[in-house]
């Protein structure tokens, strides 16, 4: 893959990462509630999910998932259920008016592990990622890709995704004191919870679309 393919490939990946969605909501909420390190852990979880999807796409499994109605539906419903779970937790916190205590410290191992898990599962259980990579990779990979091409097509999405969401975690984490105010936190929980539930419902109702 030369620069003529790499630059537009990176551009498409970055635009996809920056598009508001469940990944963004997960990073924002963990950063606001538990701090920069927890948000960064969620970002790394998402990047790990991107690594999984890019490698799966490289070996052709993603195309099988996109083409199989049963496999697509199973992953779709699992992802929708997890998004609804995350959204309901945020909405419950909003209903309680921010009364739920914040996790102690900024990025304790348990908090960071939970944030990483949420980021990873939010991404891996989204079959739209499979469709995205199946549609994207053939446009930029040569007919007979080398090992270097395969590694590059995995490294670019992972690196750009990690950079973008880590930047989001740093910015939101820096605003944690403001966001920790009961009214602000309640509004944030309501907003992110509504977004996650809406995306979960939309994902569950989505028909399988082939690239």
Higher-confidence position of 57 and 26: 26
48-58: average pLDDT: 85
Rounded to 5 degrees, φ, ψ at 197 are -65, -45
pLDDT at 100: 46
The answer to whether 83 and 203 are in contact (CB under 8 A) is yes
Q: Identify which has the larger pLDDT, 61 or 193.
A: 193
At 90 the pLDDT is 77
Return the pLDDT at 195: 80
The alpha-helical segments, DSSP class H, found in 68-181 are: 69-95, 109-124, 127-140, 147-174, 176-179
Reported as a single tens digit per residue, the pLDDT across 11-37 is 888 888 888 788 998 999 899 888 899
Neighbours of 128 (CB within 10 A): 18
Which tokens belong to 126? 């989204």
How far from chain centre, in Å, is Cα 102?
A: 23
In the prediction, which pLDDT does 99 show?
Answer: 38
Kindly report the pTM of this predicted structure. 0.74
The whole-number pLDDT of residue 57 equals 77
What confidence category does residue 49 fall into, taking pLDDT thresholds of 50, 70 and 90? very high
Per-residue pLDDT tens over the stretch 126-173: 877 777 777 777 677 666 767 777 788 888 999 999 999 999 999 998
Residue 84's pLDDT is: 85
Instruction: Classify residue 68 as left (phi > 0), alpha (psi -120 to 50) or beta.
Output: beta
Instruction: Tell me the domain boundaries of the chain.
Output: 28-205
Q: What is the pLDDT of residues 199-209, one digit of tens each?
A: 778 877 876 55
Q: How far apart are CA 51 and CA 192, in angstroms?
A: 25
pLDDT single digits (tens) 62-120: 555 556 677 667 777 877 887 788 788 778 877 776 534 444 444 467 789 999 999 99
CB contact at 8 A, 156 and 6 = yes
């Amino acid at each position: 893959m030369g620069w003529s393919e790499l630059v537009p490939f990176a551009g498409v990946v970055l635009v996809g990462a920056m598009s508001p969605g469940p990944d963004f909501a997960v990073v924002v909420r963990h950063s606001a509630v538990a701090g920069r390190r927890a948000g960064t852990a969620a970002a790394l979880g998402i990047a790990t999910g991107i690594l999984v999807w890019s490698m799966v796409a490289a070996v052709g499994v993603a195309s099988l998932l996109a083409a199989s109605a049963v496999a697509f539906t199973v992953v779709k419903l699992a992802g929708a259920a997890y998004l609804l779970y995350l959204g309901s937790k945020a909405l419950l916190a909003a209903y309680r008016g921010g009364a739920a205590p914040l996790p102690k410290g900024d990025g304790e191992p348990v908090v960071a592990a939970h944030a990483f898990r949420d980021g990873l599962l939010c991404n891996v259980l989204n079959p739209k990622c499979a469709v995205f990579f199946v549609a994207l990779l053939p446009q930029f990979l040569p007919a007979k890709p080398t090992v270097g091409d395969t590694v590059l097509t995995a490294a670019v999405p992972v690196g750009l995704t990690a950079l973008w969401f880590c930047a989001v975690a740093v910015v939101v984490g820096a605003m944690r004191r403001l966001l920790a105010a009961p009214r602000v936190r309640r509004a944030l929980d309501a907003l992110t919870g509504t977004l996650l539930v809406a995306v979960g419902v939309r994902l569950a109702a989505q028909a399988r679309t082939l690239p």
